[in-house]
Amino acid sequence: MTTSPELELMPGVEPTPLALLMLGRQRDPESERGVDCPGELPAASDPTLVERARAAKAALGDRVFVLGHHYQRDEVIQFADVTGDSFKLAQQAAARPEAEFIVFCGVHFMAESADILTGSDQAVLLPDLAAGCSMADMAAFDQVEECWDVLREAGVADVTVPVTYMNSSAAIKAFTGRHGGTVCTSSNAKRALEWAYAQGAKVLFMPDQHLGRNTAVRELGLTLEDCVVYDPHKPGGGLTVQQLQDAKMVLWKGHCSVHGRFTVDAVREVRERVPGINVLVHPECRHEVVEAADLVGSTEFIIRALEGAPAGSAWAIGTELNLVRRLAKEHPDKTVVFLEKTVCFCSTMDRIDLPHLVWTLESLVDGVVPNRITVEAETARYAKAALDQMLALP
Ligand code: 13P
Ligand code: SF4
C-alpha cells in the first residue's frame, strides 16, 4: 500500500483509513468528507459542558441556528433549534437567511446541501469533519461519469433521468442537475420517481439500491425484474447492453451500513416474542425486510407513526439506534424495541458529540469560524438545480 502525503501520520507508519476515521484527524481524499479535526476539544468528562454550550449559544443569540438530525445523540439534540430528517433540515436551512452561522449536527452531505441552499454570507459548520456517510462514499464522481458513458454506449442515456438520494456528495448532485435530474430523500422518493418517469423512460438511482428498489417496486408498481443493479467496480457495471436497454430502473450498487444489517429473521423473531407487535422500518432496509415489515417510512414518518399510535401498542423499529432509544423514552406508554440486536449506532452520525458542539460554539463566540463546509461555485450551481427540483416536487 502506498501512503499519500495527506494520509501520513508519522514517518514509517502507514495509517489505514479506519484508524484515521477513529482518530478524527488528517484527510481521506477518497471520501466524500475530510477527516481533519483542528482545534483542542474539551474533555468529554468536563462536568460543565452543558453549561458551556448553553452559555455560548446564548452569547451568539440569533446569529447561530443549530440543526439536529434525528440520529444525533441526545446530548447534542438538546441544543438543536430544529430537529428533522434530511428533507426537513434542508428546508429549514434554506428558510433561515438571517442566521449568520448554521451549525449542522448531522453528516457531511447534509451540511453540503445546507451550504448550497443558503446565502454566501452564511457559514455552514459541521462540528466534526469526520462525520461522513459510508453510503455516500459508495458513489464517486468519476464512477458516476463512467456509468453515464456506459448508458450512452448502450444508447439509453437520452431517455434516462438521474435521481440522486440526498446521501451523496455535492459533485454527484451537480452531475444530476447537469443531466436534468432531481435529488430525493426518503420522505419524497415516490414523488421524485413519479416526476422522473414523467421526464424519461428510465431512471438511474444513486447511491442507495434499497431505497430505489423499495420505492420503485412497492410504490410505483414496477417489478423486481424491471430493476438492474449497476456495480461500479465491474466493467460495464456488470450488465449487458440488453439488460440496460430492458431495465426501467438502474440501481447503483450502494447501501447503508446500518440499515442494510436488519434481517427478516429479526422480524420473525420479534413477532414470535411480542405477539401483535408492529414492525416499522426505514426504506434503506433491504427489500425482503421491508416486505416483512408492517410499515415503512423516513425518520420523520417513524416519529409521526409513534406519536399517533395508541397507548399500550408495541413497536419494533428498524432504524438508527439513537432515534429508537429516544422514541422509547418519549413513549413510556408504548412498548418500543430495537429490531435487531446486532445493529448499532451510525458511527459517523455519532461523531458529533457535546465536546465538538461546545468547541464549535465557543470558537464562534471567540470570532473563529471552525469546520466551515463550502461547495465550489460551479458544483454548487448545478447541485442547487437538482436540490431546487426536489424542493419543488408536487
Ligand atoms: P432521512 O432521510 O430519513 O433523514 O434519513 C437520512 C439517513 O441518513 C438515513 O440513514
Ligand atoms: Fe449514512 Fe447510513 Fe449513517 Fe444514514 S445511517 S448517515 S445512510 S451510514
- The alpha carbon of 298 and the centre of ligand 1 are apart by a number of angstroms equal to 7
Instruction: Please say whether the beta carbons of 197 and 215 come within 8 A.
Output: no
Task: For residue 280, give the H/E element and its range.
Answer: strand 278-281
Most distant CA pair in the chain, distance: 63
Would residue 8 count as lying in a domain? no
Q: Is the CB of 186 under 6 A from ligand 1?
A: yes
- Cis ω before 29 (30° cut-off from 0): no
Which residues on adjacent β-strands are paired with residue 101?
64, 123
Q: Counting ligands in written order, which one lies closest to the CA of residue 208?
A: 2
Confidence (pLDDT) at 39: 73
Would residue 40 count as lying in a domain? yes
What is the domain count for the chain? 3
Q: Is the CB of 298 under 6 A from ligand 1?
A: yes
Task: For residue 57, give the H/E element and its range.
Answer: helix 49-60
SS3 67: strand
- Whether 146 and 75 share a structural domain: no
Please state the pTM of the whole predicted model. 0.89
Q: What is the pLDDT of residues 225-271, one digit of tens each?
A: 999 999 999 999 999 999 999 999 999 999 999 999 999 999 999 99
Would residue 380 count as lying in a domain? no
Would residue 391 count as lying in a domain? no
**119, three cell numbers:** 446565502
Mean pLDDT across the stretch 316-340? Answer: 96
Strands 249-252 and 202-206: parallel
Instruction: Please report where in the chains the cell 422500518 appears, as a residue.
Output: 281
Q: Report the atom number in ligand 1 closest to the C-alpha of 259.
A: 10
Q: Report the atom number in ligand 1 closest to the C-alpha of 349.
A: 8
Strands 123-125 and 182-184: unpaired
- Whether 127 and 184 share a structural domain: no
Confidence (pLDDT) at 168: 96
Mean pLDDT across the stretch 142-157? Answer: 98
Question: How would residue 45 be classed by pLDDT, with cut points 50, 70 and 90?
Answer: very high
Q: Whose CA is nearest to atom 2 of ligand 2?
A: 256
**What's 116's domain CATH number?**
3.40.50.10800
Q: Whose CA is nearest to atom 6 of ligand 2?
A: 133
Instruction: Please say whether the beta carbons of 277 and 190 come within 8 A.
Output: no
Which residues on adjacent β-strands are paired with residue 161?
203
Q: What is the pLDDT of residues 375-387, one digit of tens each?
A: 999 999 999 999 9
- Whether 24 and 125 share a structural domain: yes
Domain boundary among 256, 280, 299: 256
**7, three cell numbers:** 494520509
- The alpha carbon of 320 and the centre of ligand 2 are apart by a number of angstroms equal to 8
Instruction: Please say whether the beta carbons of 265 and 279 come within 8 A.
Output: no
Ligand 2 pocket check: which of 32, 104, 107 to mutate, most ligand atoms within 8 Å of Cβ?
107
Ligand 1 pocket check: which of 110, 113, 186 to mutate, most ligand atoms within 8 Å of Cβ?
186
Would residue 7 count as lying in a domain? no
- Whether 102 and 178 share a structural domain: no
Residue 106 lies in domain: 16-132+348-375
Would residue 9 count as lying in a domain? no
Q: Whose CA is nearest to atom 1 of ligand 2?
A: 133
Confidence (pLDDT) at 34: 55
Mean pLDDT across the stretch 326-346? Answer: 92
Q: Residues lining ligand 2, CB < 6 A? A: 107, 133-135, 167, 256-259, 320, 346, 348-349
- Whether 248 and 270 share a structural domain: no
- Whether 122 and 205 share a structural domain: no
Q: What is the pLDDT of residues 79-109, one digit of tens each?
A: 999 999 888 898 899 899 999 999 999 999 9
- The alpha carbon of 286 and the centre of ligand 1 are apart by a number of angstroms equal to 15
CA 72 to chain centre: 12
CA 379 to chain centre: 19
Would residue 37 count as lying in a domain? yes
* Four-residue CA torsion sign, 113, 114, 119, 124: negative
- The alpha carbon of 152 and the centre of ligand 2 are apart by a number of angstroms equal to 31
- The alpha carbon of 368 and the centre of ligand 1 are apart by a number of angstroms equal to 30
Three-state helix/strand/coil letters over 197-256: HHHCCEEEEECCHHHHHHHHHHHCCCCHHHEEEECCCCHHHHCCHHHHHHCCEEEECCCC
Ligand 2 pocket check: which of 110, 134, 255 to mutate, most ligand atoms within 8 Å of Cβ?
134
Q: Is the CB of 208 under 6 A from ligand 1?
A: no
User: Interior CA angle at 377 toward 371 and 379, to 5°?
Assistant: 95
Ligand 1 pocket check: which of 135, 137, 282 to mutate, most ligand atoms within 8 Å of Cβ?
282
Residue 1: pLDDT over 90: no
Tell me, what DSSP letter sits at residue 310? P
- Whether 121 and 233 share a structural domain: no
Phi/psi at 145 (5° precision): -60, -40
Distance between CA atoms of residues 368 and 263, nearest Å = 46
Confidence (pLDDT) at 341: 83
Phi/psi at 278 (5° precision): -95, 130
Distance between CA atoms of residues 145 and 162, nearest Å = 12
